[in-house]
Structure 1
């Protein structure tokens, strides 16, 4: 099949590109990173060429906001569209910029999928739940706390209006970690950040009360499986998590066990306390064929060789 992946040089997009290229014709569209940064100093684009090392499909460098990008996609005639491109930084508060890029372009992709009779699988986010009590359930207590989360909720709302015209599946990712996230920089998971602190011999730095801050951590290989299952899923929005809530303290303890270290933790004040999610746990939809396979322990163990490689080749240079 012909498959399009927007944001295909990013974390989840590149995992899909490398996996799907074995049996399909894959076009990756990504803006690719430059020196451009947001007002908070974070990079505007996280797409990195190193995420696509080994990719044998076609890469087209473009902004999804530009009309010429849509023309390139139309000419390619994809049968499946994995739409991952977005401004995903939750600390950006330029509402115009986020909603223009995330929401307005999404409507164009819906129209495109209808015109091409292509299945559209897009990235939603667990951030739409805000401080909703766990487990978080699609359609219940959705209360975004930032423009990014709001843009994702509005994408889900928009998609519902076209369920009778197209194959549209939204995947609400919880805390995804694994190979390919390193180039997200400051927004990479605390799993890789804690691991590199420990490998550098530094005391892991956690927010105070980290033994009471819970997240649903989902491994990239499970996330990849969810995307594949979405191809045949019925229209809708589905949580993609492990279904288990674990603490940040758990991460450090698992890493120290795997790395055979016993460093003391340093506890610091949480500067994001007013906007923080203190407990996330995905309620998985039994009608969705996705079933996570990796526990946090299993995921970290599988990820460790890549973490060590990154420390040697990218961090410790």
Structure 2
């Protein structure tokens, strides 16, 4: 573990994963100067009520970035700012915000010689037909412009690192859930959506027949892995998941258990032409290179999340 860091920049730090990351870094590195940049297009200030550093409104895809940071020289940049709404079909907007924004961050990193850890996505793998754990080096098949933007970011990161010798590490998130996502509304995790339905006494709605499987990763594990990624021995990309593929039926069963309910799913036809039936992260690489092992399986993660949402357990980021 890095013992001391003087300065940290977090883009997208008021969002779901970003705010959890910021507050954890604040506790681990109390002497570090931490600056957050966020355009607040998909964030909420309430997630940062316990944050003690500087927060600036900024669109990192514009030159505004360079004026905002001024003489700030970050040792590490955690780049999470991007459009994360996968239903956005405006290709120019998605590429400009995600890809151009990343290129600006890399330019800043080049000037300050920063280590960069950036958010990639498991969506780059596409709709996997075979039910096998997904390794980082498998063939990519992005099915929408969001996934394509992340795929191009991975390419740009590799080229930039080879050219400059600076370390750039991608964290390829699978299905992250946990406290701090409520502001995302309908774009919050399915676990949160199903929680709300069951909490209100409604039958949880699932696509037929609820046996689609996902690698659900609790946000605390995602944050731990993201912080650890800055210690990678070289520029690379790591899967960030639980390593397990669990069904939506299992999610409903666990939510029923922890909420004291017994509501049967309401199954309906999937309206989407493209829908991932299966995701599972192969976690071998990050375990071998960094020693990371997830602490939360689905049972433990949902139990803690429900306790936070029900006000039984305190968490510094909003539920």
Normalising by structure 2, what TM-score? 0.90
Aligned partner of 1:290 in structure 2 is 292
1:70 deviates by 2.1
In structure 1, what is the Cα distance between the partners aligned to 2:261 and 2:71? 54
In structure 1, what is the Cα distance between the partners aligned to 2:169 and 2:51? 25
Alignment of structure 1 residues 35-54 onto 2, 5 Å: 45-54=41-50
Aligned partner of 1:313 in structure 2 is none
Greater displacement, 47-56 / 156-165: 156-165
Change beyond 3 A, Cα 1:74–1:232: farther
Aligned partner of 2:271 in structure 1 is 271
Per-residue deviation, residues 184-214 of structure 1 (Å, max 9, x unmatched): 1111111111111111111111111212x00
Per-residue deviation, residues 23-51 of structure 1 (Å, max 9, x unmatched): 1211110111xxxxxxxxxxxx2110111
1:71 deviates by 2.6
Q: Is the 8 A contact 2:60 2:104 kept in 1?
A: no
Unaligned runs of 5+ in 1: 33-44, 311-317
Cα RMSD (Å): 1.3
In structure 2, what is the Cα distance between the partners aligned to 1:25 and 1:305? 32
1:89 deviates by 1.0
Greater displacement, 148-157 / 161-170: 161-170
3-state SS of 1:198 partner: helix
In structure 2, what is the Cα distance between the partners aligned to 1:289 and 1:107? 30
How many positions carry a matched residue from both structures? Answer: 296
Instruction: Return the structure number with greater relative CO, CA threshold 8 A, min gap 6.
Output: 2
Aligned partner of 1:240 in structure 2 is 240
Q: Is the 8 A contact 2:62 2:101 kept in 1?
A: no
1:66 deviates by 2.2
Greater displacement, 61-70 / 227-236: 61-70
Per-residue deviation, residues 110-160 of structure 1 (Å, max 9, x unmatched): 121121011100000000001133311112121000000000000001111
Per-residue deviation, residues 227-267 of structure 1 (Å, max 9, x unmatched): 11111112101100001000011100011111111112211
1:28 pairs, out of 36, 48, 53, with 36
1:296 deviates by 0.2
Unaligned runs of 5+ in 2: 1-5, 313-319
Aligned partner of 1:150 in structure 2 is 148
Q: Is the 8 A contact 2:113 2:166 kept in 1?
A: yes
The 4+ residue runs of structure 1 with deviation greater than 3 A are none
Q: Is the 8 A contact 1:168 1:235 kept in 2?
A: yes
Alignment of structure 1 residues 112-261 onto 2, 5 Å: 112-132=108-128, 133=130, 134-164=132-162, 165-211=165-211, 213-233=212-232, 234-261=234-261
Normalising by structure 1, what TM-score? 0.90
Q: Is the 8 A contact 2:61 2:102 kept in 1?
A: no
Aligned partner of 1:315 in structure 2 is none
In structure 2, what is the Cα distance between the partners aligned to 1:147 and 1:271? 19
3-state SS of 1:176 partner: strand
In structure 2, what is the Cα distance between the partners aligned to 1:20 and 1:223? 13
In structure 1, what is the Cα distance between the partners aligned to 2:191 and 2:171? 22
Q: Is the 8 A contact 2:135 2:282 kept in 1?
A: yes
